Every structure is written in structure tokens, then in C-alpha cells.
């Protein structure tokens, strides 16, 4: 209300100045008065809002009184022609107001300041320090008296003490004061409770929002089974929830001590950035985290549209880039980066919401990394199991290398490959994959002691394009102890000559097949795409190479064991047991399909004399020479076995009696023209053979009787002069 009175005074002064013509001094005076009035009003509201600030209130009362007295003085000084009006009475208004506010102190203050203001007004208008009329002296005395009168009135009690009414009024006032105090205390408690309730409600709202954010991420995990499927979904959900223009996921590769982008979306699509670290693992993780942040801060210089307006990392107000470190107490997994739309930052509170997702994102990334690792290990285990099964599913060890490449290819995903073995470790027979000529089986690769045993598609001659510190090709690689080699990009690798990329090879892996300290072979795999093979692929290739080396060695030993089971230890021919099994097979085949077959029984004439003359060791040596002669005389399709002692037997599949007779005559002729000697080179003369022949159906209509018929024919040949053949006829 009093501010309204002051405003009326200012309005009156404005009217008087306008009526007299505006002057710069008057204008500035009016502006200063209005500003002071506004400042006083604001200070009063601010000061009286605080309880217990008595000194501030007193200062404002005094300042207000001075302002009011100045306002009245200016008004009286500008009012010409108003000498007949009692204008000094206007001084009583601010005096009464301050006495009402400050009591007797206010009255005393007005008794001092009001006459002083009147005198200053008189001096400013007349330029005379003394009053020149009795009226002015009268007004001066009246203003002093009115001030002291106000002091007496403010100090006088409302009623006389000692009356019943006074006691009742005092009790009522005290009761009212207590009620007002209790009401004010209740209001304060209510305000405090409201603030606490609002705080808890906000916390509940934030927790609900964070729970919804986490639920969105967990929903994405139900739609993906691999990291490659999950990471794009996660980034899309984060961009949608936080209205981000771009998102990227950086993951740590602890083997190579570097952090690189695993997935990016939005305006960050196409990023392919990698940061490397060095040093011990905990220190390296901290260093990589700092390097990541520093790199993100510098993206405004070279990242184009996504950071065109100087995005600020981690700023509390209007952040342009938000980062979520993915870490536990012992490991640093990486960081998630969100970028705001161009021209504006994230809304307030977004950074706290994003940071609240850090434990959930870390847990999800950790879980899927473990699942990916477990899947890779399971795949490796299945691969090794499939390789082990080859040992019992192939007919010959030579089938293992090509079938092994076919099993390994879906895991390592190479486009071309070759497997080479040292000549002594290579299989005995080796059918290559379809489309590969048999002559390639004996191809030499850079060194005479290695030969290719299996291929996967066409592999260009690239070994000569590999460079090492101590040479090129296999020689240089073996000089470096045949360490596993990974060429991720053939265009800029120190081990790759330019010819390698020109041959269509973008990335390459070379691992050795070592048994102890000896290199038994190598596995070379290639792909046309650079950066296709990873260190994890090289690690898997090493596991495969080690297992394949053991598998080939087991196959070789198993083949040797099988050979020992069916081979005669002295002559190297098949033994009687194996011959008898094959003979029964031919009998069954003849009964079912009526296919012919023949049996030749061979006995050395007078072999007992050789043993008696030269000894049994020399006799064994003669048996070995005769067995070698028989092996060289017959065809590969015919089975030669030692029948017992100095007797041999030959099984002729799909051969009639006439064909067996021709083979027997050829053997007799070879026996006559061959020379035999002892271990010391002494010639042995008069070594002859007796041969008995039988064939189905020429010798018997029952195929089971052919061996018996051949034995009868042999007996007849020995009785009729030896060194001849006898054929059984049906």
C-alpha cells in the first residue's frame, strides 16, 4: 500500500516537471526516483521473507524514510504558487508511517530527519541558509513537535494497566500469538514434508525410468543369440530411448591391447577406428579408457556432420556426447558412445539416465562375450571330435588330409588352402579332392622334403611371396622356427611381397604341423578379403594343426599296426590269416555272381638243403629274395601271401585257369633267370619252384574246393619231377 503512495508522489512530480517543461536534470531525477522505488520494494520483499533479520529490516525502514522525505521535499520545491497551501503537512505522512513501523524509535527519528529535510528543501529553493519568514520558522517548530508527539503516541500503551479488560486482551493476544506460531510451525513442517515427498517422488520417477530403460535392453537380448545380432539391436534401442543421432560400441581386444569399434549406427555408421595401448594390463586398461575419452573430444575436428558444432564430452549442461564406460572391478570391456542431433544437445537428466544403464550394459556385453567364447570353444571341440572320427571312418590314411580340410573349412572359412607333409610323414596312398589330377599328389612345395597331400580349391603359388628376416618362402619361415604367421592385410604387411595381393590373396594364415621339435608339415589358408582372418582364427588354426598332427601320427601307427596284423614279418607279404579272409570273400562272390577266380600254390624245391648247407638265417634271406621276386612278377591286383614255411600262395580275382597258367609260366621263367646269393654275396644255384594251379569253375564247380584242388595239383607237380606247374582240371 505504501508503495502505491510513493508511486502517486512520483506521478505528481512527473506532472509538475511536464508542466514546467522537461529538463535533463529533471528527467534523470525522475528515473533515479523510480529505480530507487523498485529497489526498495524488492529489498523489502527479500528481507521480510527471512526470519530474524532485524538489522536488515531497520536499515530498510530508515532508507525508506529518507526516500519519502526526499520525495516530499522535491514535490514541495516544484509546486510554485502553492505558498498559500499548507504543503509542509505532507512531511507528516512519512513520519506517521515510520512511527507506525518502528514505534517510538521511528517517532524520534522523524523528529530529527523531518526538520532537516524541510531546511534542506528551503535552502535548495532559496539558496539562503536562514528562514526569511516567521511562517517557515513556525513550520520548522511544528515539524519538530509533531515528531516528538508521534514518539509519545507510539510509546503510550493501548490501555491502562491493572484493568480486567487489559488482562483479558493480553491473554487473548498471547493465545492468538501462540496459535499463529503453531500455525506457522505447522506450515513449515508441511512445506518440509512436501519437499521430501516431491524428492522421493522424483527419485521414484527416475528409478521407474531407469527400470524402463533397462527393460528395453533386456528385451533386445531375447531377440538375439549372438553378439553380432545383439549389438545393432542395443544401439538402436539406445538411440530411440535417448533421441540420439548416432551410437557406437567400442570393445577391448586384450590379446592385441587395443580398443576398436565393434558396432556403430546412425550418423556414426561406417566408423572403423582403433586405439592401441601398451604396458601392463591394468595400466593399459586405464590408459585406453583415457585415450578413448580424449579421442572422442577431438572428433569435432574430423568426424564431419556428427560433430560439426563442437560437441562437449561430459558437460553437465546441454551435453553433445555421452559415454558409458563398461567396466567391472577387474576388467575394462569398452565404452558406449551416444551423440546428440546436430545443432542441439541432450535434454537435462539424460546423462544420469545413461550412466544408470552402465551396470546393465556391462553385464550384457560380458555375458554375450562369454557366450561367444563358449560357442567358439564348443565349435572347436566339435571340430576336434569330427577330426577324431576320421581315424575310424576312412579306408586308408591317405583319405584323412582332404577330408580334414573339408571339416575345417566351415570353421576357419578360408577360400583356398593346402596341406603339405614331410615325405616320411605323408600317407602311403593319397586320392586328392575332386578336380585335382593324381600327378599333383607328388608335387613338391619349395623344398624337396615336403609334398602336397590335400588341397581346397585352387591355391596359387604364393609361398615364394612370403618374406622373413632370414629368407623367403618355406626356407625363411623354417629359419624362424616355423612360428604361426598371420597376414591380416597383404597390401601393407612386412611379410608379404606385392605379388601376394596381386595373386588375389588379401589375408593369409600359415601354421606348422610339428611333432615335438620336428616340422612334419604345414597348413596354408588364404582369403581374398583383407582383414578377414583374426588372431582368434590363428589361435583356432594352431589348435587344428596340433590336433591334425597327432591324428596323422595315430593314423600312421594304426596303419602300421594293421599291416603288422596281416603281414608276414619276414617276407613282408600278407600272412596266411589275411589270405584266408580274402579267399573266403572270393568264394562268396563266386557263389553269388559266378565270377571266376584262381589260386596258385608255390613250394620251393629242396629248400631244406639250403638250410642245412647255409643255415637258417641264410635260408630266411633266400626266402626274402624269392618273396620279392614273386611280388615283382605278379600284378598289383593279385594278392601274394606266405602260406607257411617255404610255401607261398597267390590269389587271382576275376581270373580263369588259362590266365593263372600264363602268370605261373612267367614266374617260373623269372625264377630260372634270376640269381640268388647269401648275405655275404655267395651265389646259390639250383633254386626251383613247384606250382599247383586251380580255378573256378575250370577246376571245380564248387568254389570252396579251389584251394584244395590247388594243393592236390602242387602235390602232383612235386611228385612228377618238380620245377614245373600242374593245373587241376574239372
User: What pLDDT score was predicted for residue 159?
Assistant: 47
pLDDT tens for 336-351 read 888 787 667 777 778 8
User: What pLDDT score was predicted for residue 352?
Assistant: 83
Higher pLDDT, 572 or 88: 572
Q: What is the mean pLDDT of residues 697-718?
A: 93
State the cell numbers at 358. Answer: 552402465
From 232, 274, 233, select the one nearest 251 (Cα to Cα). Answer: 274
Q: Which CATH class is domain 394-550?
A: alpha beta
What does R_g of the chain's alpha carbons equal in angstroms? 57
pLDDT band for position 304 (cuts 50, 70, 90): very low
Q: Give the span between the Cα atoms of 199 and 190, in whole angstroms.
A: 14
Neighbours of 630 (CB within 10 A): 24
For 243, the 3-state DSSP assignment is coil
Res. 313: pLDDT tops 50: no
pLDDT band for position 29 (cuts 50, 70, 90): low
Q: What is the mean pLDDT of residues 239-268?
A: 74
User: What pLDDT score was predicted for residue 431?
Assistant: 38
Res. 629: pLDDT tops 60: yes
For 55, the 3-state DSSP assignment is helix
Lowest mean pLDDT among 113-122, 178-187, 222-231: 113-122
User: What pLDDT score was predicted for residue 525?
Assistant: 93
From 730, 644, 722, select the one nearest 690 (Cα to Cα). Answer: 722
Q: Which neighbouring-strand residues pair with 250?
A: 261, 335
State the cell numbers at 346. Answer: 541432450
Lowest mean pLDDT among 126-140, 449-463, 587-601: 126-140
Residues 6+ apart with CB under 8 A from 702: none
User: What pLDDT score was predicted for residue 425?
Assistant: 59
Q: What percent of the chain has pLDDT above 90? A: 21
pLDDT tens for 395-433 read 778 888 888 899 999 888 999 999 998 876 555 444 333
Give CA 41 to chain center in angstroms: 64
Res. 598: pLDDT tops 70: yes
pLDDT tens for 143-178 read 677 766 767 666 655 444 444 455 556 777 788 788
Pairing of strands 332-339, 321-327: antiparallel
Lowest mean pLDDT among 242-256, 295-309, 319-333, 344-358: 295-309
Higher pLDDT, 147 or 369: 369
Q: Specify the DSSP class assigned to residue 330.
A: S
How far is residue 475 from each of residues 46, 480, 524, 584, measured CA to CA in Å? 92, 9, 15, 52
pLDDT band for position 249 (cuts 50, 70, 90): confident
State the cell numbers at 3. Answer: 508503495
pLDDT band for position 444 (cuts 50, 70, 90): very low
Task: Assign a CATH topology to domain 567-727.
Answer: Alpha-Beta Plaits (3.30.70)
pLDDT tens for 43-57 read 666 665 555 566 666
Burial code of 139-162, b = ≥16 C-beta within 10 A, e = fewer? bbebbbebbebbbeebeeeeeeee
User: What pLDDT score was predicted for residue 45?
Assistant: 65
* Domain limits, the chain: 2-155, 223-374, 394-550, 567-727
Q: With beta carbons less than 8 A apart as the criterion, state whether 630 and 688 touch.
A: no
Res. 443: pLDDT tops 50: no
pLDDT tens for 605-622 read 989 898 989 999 999 999
pLDDT band for position 436 (cuts 50, 70, 90): very low
Res. 634: pLDDT tops 60: yes
pLDDT tens for 555-564 read 878 777 777 7
User: What pLDDT score was predicted for residue 189?
Assistant: 86
User: What pLDDT score was predicted for residue 317?
Assistant: 41
User: What pLDDT score was predicted for residue 725?
Assistant: 93
Domain 223-374 has CATH 3.40.50.261: no
Q: Give the span between the Cα atoms of 254 and 327, in whole angstroms.
A: 14
User: What pLDDT score was predicted for residue 289?
Assistant: 57
Residues 6+ apart with CB under 8 A from 106: 61, 65, 98, 99, 100, 150, 154
Task: Output the average pLDDT for the chain.
Answer: 77
From 90, 99, 85, 83, select the one nearest 69 (Cα to Cα). Answer: 90
Higher pLDDT, 342 or 600: 600
Identify whether 697 is preceded by a cis peptide bond (ω within 30 of 0): yes
Lowest mean pLDDT among 102-106, 266-270, 488-492: 102-106
pLDDT band for position 594 (cuts 50, 70, 90): very high
Q: What percent of the chain has pLDDT above 70? A: 70
The angle at the Cα of 15, spanning 123 to 38, to the nearest 5 degrees, equals 85
Q: Give the span between the Cα atoms of 180 and 177, in whole angstroms.
A: 5
Q: With beta carbons less than 8 A apart as the criterion, state whether 666 and 621 touch.
A: no
Task: Provide the whole-model pTM.
Answer: 0.49
User: What pLDDT score was predicted for residue 437?
Assistant: 37
Res. 387: pLDDT tops 80: yes
Pairing of strands 725-727, 258-266: unpaired
Burial code of 56-69, b = ≥16 C-beta within 10 A, e = fewer? ebeebbbebbbbbb
For 163, the 3-state DSSP assignment is coil
Q: Do domains 223-374 and 394-550 have the same CATH topology?
A: yes
Amino acid at each position: 500500500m505504501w508503495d502505491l503512495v510513493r508511486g502517486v508522489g512520483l506521478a505528481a512530480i512527473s506532472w509538475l516537471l511536464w508542466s514546467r517543461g522537461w529538463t535533463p536534470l529533471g528527467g534523470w531525477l525522475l528515473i533515479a526516483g523510480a529505480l530507487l522505488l523498485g529497489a526498495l520494494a524488492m529489498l523489502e520483499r527479500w528481507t521480510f521473507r527471512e526470519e530474524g533479520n532485524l538489522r536488515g529490516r531497520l536499515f530498510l525502514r530508515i532508507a525508506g524514510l529518507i526516500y519519502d522525505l526526499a520525495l516530499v521535499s522535491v514535490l514541495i520545491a516544484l509546486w510554485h504558487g502553492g505558498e498559500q497551501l499548507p504543503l509542509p503537512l505532507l512531511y507528516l505522512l512519512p513520519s506517521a508511517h515510520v512511527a507506525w513501523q518502528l514505534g517510538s524509535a521511528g517517532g524520534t527519528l522523524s523528529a530529527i530527519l523531518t526538520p532537516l529535510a524541510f531546511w534542506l528543501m528551503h535552502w535548495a529553493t532559496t539558496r539562503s541558509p536562514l528562514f526569511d519568514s516567521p511562517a517557515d520558522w513556525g513550520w520548522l517548530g511544528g515539524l519538530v513537535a509533531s515528531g516528538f508527539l508521534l514518539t509519545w503516541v507510539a510509546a503510550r500503551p493501548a490501555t491502562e494497566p491493572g484493568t480486567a479488560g487489559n488482562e483479558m486482551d493480553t491473554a487473548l493476544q498471547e493465545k492468538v500469538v501462540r496459535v499463529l506460531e503453531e500455525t506457522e510451525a505447522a506450515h513449515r513442517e508441511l512445506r518440509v514434508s512436501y519437499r521430501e515427498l516431491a524428492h522421493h517422488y522424483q527419485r521414484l520417477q527416475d528409478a521407474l525410468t531407469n527400470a524402463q530403460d533397462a527393460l528395453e535392453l533386456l528385451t533386445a537380448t531375447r531377440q538375439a543369440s549372438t553378439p553380432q545380432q545383439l549389438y545393432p539391436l542395443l544401439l538402436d534401442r539406445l538411440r530411440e530411448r535417448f533421441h540420439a543421432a548416432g551410437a557406437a560400441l567400442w570393445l577391448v581386444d586384450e590379446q592385441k591391447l587395443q580398443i576398436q569399434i565393434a558396432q556403430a549406427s546412425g550418423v556414426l555408421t561406417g566408423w572403423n577406428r582403433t586405439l592401441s595401448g601398451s604396458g601392463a594390463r591394468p595400466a593399459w586398461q586405464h590408459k585406453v579408457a583415457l585415450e578413448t575419452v580424449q579421442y572422442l573430444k577431438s572428433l569435432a575436428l574430423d568426424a564431419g556432420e556428427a560433430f560439426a558444432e563442437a560437441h562437449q564430452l561430459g558437460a553437465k549442461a546441454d551435453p553433445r556426447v555421452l559415454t558409458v564406460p563398461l567396466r567391472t572391478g577387474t576388467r575394462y570391456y569398452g565404452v558406449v558412445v551416444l551423440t546428440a542431433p546436430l545443432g542441439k544437445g541432450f535434454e537435462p537428466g539424460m546423462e544420469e539416465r545413461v550412466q544408470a544403464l552402465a551396470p546393465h550394459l556391462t553385464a550384457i556385453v560380458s555375458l554375450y562375450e562369454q557366450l561367444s567364447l563358449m560357442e567358439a570353444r564348443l565349435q572347436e571341440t566339435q571340430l576336434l571330435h569330427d577330426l577324431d572320427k576320421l581315424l575310424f571312418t576312412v579306408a586308408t590314411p591317405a583319405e584323412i588330409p582332404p577330408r580334414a580340410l573339408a571339416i575345417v573349412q566351415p570353421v576357419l572359412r578360408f577360400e583356398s588352402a593346402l596341406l603339405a607333409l614331410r615325405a616320411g610323414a605323408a600317407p602311403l596312398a593319397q586320392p586328392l579332392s575332386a578336380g585335382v589330377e593324381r600327378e599333383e599328389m607328388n608335387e613338391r612345395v619349395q623344398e624337396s622334403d615336403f609334398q602336397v597331400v590335400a588341397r581346397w580349391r585352387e591355391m596359387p603359388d604364393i609361398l615364394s611371396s612370403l618374406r622373413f628376416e632370414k629368407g623367403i618362402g618355406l626356407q625363411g619361415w623354417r629359419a624362424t622356427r616355423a612360428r604361426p604367421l598371420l597376414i591380416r592385410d597383404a597390401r601393407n604387411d612386412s611379410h608379404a611381397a606385392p605379388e601376394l595381393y596381386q595373386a588375389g590373396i588379401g589375408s593369409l594364415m600359415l601354421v606348422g604341423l610339428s611333432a615335438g621339435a620336428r616340422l612334419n608339415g604345414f597348413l596354408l589358408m588364404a582369403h581374398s578379403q583383407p582383414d578377414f582372418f583374426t588372431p582368434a582364427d590363428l589361435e583356432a588354426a594352431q589348435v587344428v594343426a596340433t590336433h591334425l598332427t597327432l591324428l596323422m601320427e595315430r593314423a600312421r601307427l594304426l596303419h602300421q599296426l594293421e599291416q603288422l596284423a596281416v603281414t608276414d614279418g619276414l617276407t613282408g607279404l600278407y600272412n596266411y590269416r589275411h589270405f584266408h579272409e580274402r579267399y573266403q570273400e572270393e568264394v562268396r562272390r563266386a557263389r553269388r555272381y559266378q565270377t571266376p577266380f584262381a589260386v596258385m600254390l608255390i613250394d620251393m624245391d629242396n629248400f631244406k638243403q639250403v638250410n642245412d648247407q647255409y643255415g637258417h638265417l641264410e635260408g630266411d634271406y633266400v626266402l626274402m629274395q624269392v618273396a620279392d621276386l614273386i611280388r615283382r612278377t605278379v600284378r598289383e591286383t593279385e594278392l601274394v601271401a606266405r602260406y607257411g614255411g617255404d610255401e607261398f600262395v597267390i590269389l587271382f580275382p576275376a581270373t580263369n585257369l588259362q590266365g593263372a597258367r600264363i602268370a605261373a609260366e612267367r614266374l617260373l621263367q623269372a625264377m630260372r633267370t634270376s640269381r640268388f646269393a647269401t648275405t655275404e654275396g655267395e651265389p646259390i644255384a639250383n633254386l626251383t619252384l613247384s606250382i599247383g594251379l586251380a580255378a573256378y569253375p575250370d577246376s571245380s564247380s564248387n568254389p570252396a574246393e579251389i584251394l584244395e584242388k590247388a594243393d592236390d595239383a602242387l602235390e602232383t607237380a612235386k611228385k612228377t619231377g618238380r620245377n614245373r606247374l600242374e593245373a587241376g582240371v574239372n
